[in-house]
């Protein structure tokens, strides 16, 4: 059964993330040269305190110096379509033109459907039927770039996605909100967890927007925070 499980790995990050962000912040307010600030930076508490103040006052250019790359696999096309709406990210995604599906293609079953056996069975039958039509199109000489038109939003995809820390915080603020769809929320949570594993100090910044604002600005609130 070609249902697959999401996988997210942080594959590239700069060294000295904390010291780099601190140096960027401190440079704005110091007579010292950036190189001198970087070399002297050794007090983690002092660095974190300045960074926290600078980020909460909205001085976001200081966190744009940190570039991160993720290897992401087994996410639906519905999910990647939402992800690629973020314009300060870079993407390299498995092509449905160059990579032909063979037999039953991999797909993602949304959790609510997967947890209902009767609906899950209907869903899987539909995927199988779709795979047969796709195969028939390919066998009749239709190029993959056109045959893919029958593939569903559920079709599994993989990509490398890169972004800077400012965009990751923005992504977390928007997509960790319970108003975001569960699959993309899960994806962004996994991306944030990968970063927090390496840089625990970022935990307080990689949060839904209500935690940053102290209130919920959505029309329909989950009730976790008071509404504005
Ligand atoms: C819960 C939820 C529901 C959604 N529903 C829908 C929907 O129904 N239909 C739909 O089409 N989209 C929907 N979206 C997508 C949403 O409208 C945005 O396109 C997406 O979240 C990217 O957000 P962004 O533009 O803030 O972020 P990014 O593209 O990541 O940009 C980051 C920030 O950079 C700045 N920026 C980027 N580009 C520009 C620009 N051209 N001009 C000025 N400033 C810019 C803005 O400050 C922006 O917030 C939804 C998103 C969420 C989280």
What is the pLDDT tens value at each position of the chain, 228 positions in all? 466 799 999 999 999 999 999 999 999 999 999 999 999 999 999 999 999 999 988 999 999 999 999 999 999 999 999 999 999 999 999 999 999 998 899 999 999 999 999 999 999 999 999 999 999 999 999 999 999 999 999 999 999 999 999 999 999 999 999 999 999 999 999 999 999 999 999 999 999 999 999 999 999 999 999 998
Same domain for 64 and 11? Answer: yes
Residue 166 Cβ contacting ligand 1 at under 6 Å: no
Q: What is the torsion angle, in degrees rounded to the nearest 10, for the CA atoms of residue 162, residue 165, residue 170 and residue 174?
A: 60
- 62 and 161 inside one domain: yes
Nearest CA to ligand 1 atom 7: 82
Q: Evaluate whether residue 61 is within a structural domain.
A: yes
Q: Kindly state if the Cβ of 170 falls inside 6 Å of ligand 1.
A: yes
pTM: 0.95
Task: Tell me whether residue 126 is in a domain.
Answer: yes
175 noted as active-site residue: yes
Assigned token pair, 70: 């993720």
Domain count for the chain, please give it. 2
Of 85, 120, 154, the residue at which a domain comes to its end is: 154
Residue 92: which of 150, 160, 182, 149 has the closest Cα?
160
Mutate to test the pocket of ligand 1, among 78, 82, 85, 212 (most ligand atoms within 8 A of CB): 85
Q: Is 85 in the pocket of ligand 1 (CB under 6 A)?
A: yes
Q: Which domain holds residue 189?
A: 7-71+157-213
Ligand 1 in contact with 86 (CB < 6 A)? yes
Which residue in 175, 179, 185, 212 is the catalytic one? 175
**CA of 110: how far to CAs of 30, 81, 98, 184, 187, in Å?**
51, 15, 26, 11, 13
> Closest residue (by CA) to atom 28 of ligand 1?
86
CA–CA separation, 162 vs 188, rounded Å?
13
């Amino acid at each position: 059964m070609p249902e697959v499980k999401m996988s997210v790995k942080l594959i590239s990050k700069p060294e000295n993330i904390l010291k780099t962000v601190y140096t960027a912040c401190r440079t704005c307010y110091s007579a010292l040269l950036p190189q001198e600030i970087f070399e002297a930076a050794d007090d983690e508490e002092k660095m974190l305190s300045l960074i926290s103040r600078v980020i909460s006052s909205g001085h976001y250019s200081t966190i744009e110096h940190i570039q991160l790359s993720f290897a992401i696999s087994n996410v639906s096309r519905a999910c990647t379509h939402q992800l690629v709406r973020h314009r300060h990210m870079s993407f390299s995604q498995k092509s449905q033109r160059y990579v032909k599906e063979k037999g039953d293609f991999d797909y993602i079953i949304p959790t609510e459907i997967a947890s209902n056996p009767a609906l899950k069975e209907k869903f899987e039958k539909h995927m199988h039927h779709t795979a047969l039509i796709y195969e028939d199109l390919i066998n009749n000489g239709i190029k993959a770039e056109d045959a893919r038109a029958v593939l569903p939003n559920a079709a599994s995809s993989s990509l490398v996605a890169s972004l800077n820390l400012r965009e990751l915080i923005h992504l977390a603020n928007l997509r960790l909100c319970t108003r975001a769809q569960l699959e993309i929320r899960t994806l962004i949570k996994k991306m944030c967890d990968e970063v927090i594993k390496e840089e625990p100090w970022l935990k307080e910044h990689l949060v839904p927007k209500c935690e940053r604002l102290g209130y919920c600005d959505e029309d329909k609130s989950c009730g976790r925070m008071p509404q504005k």
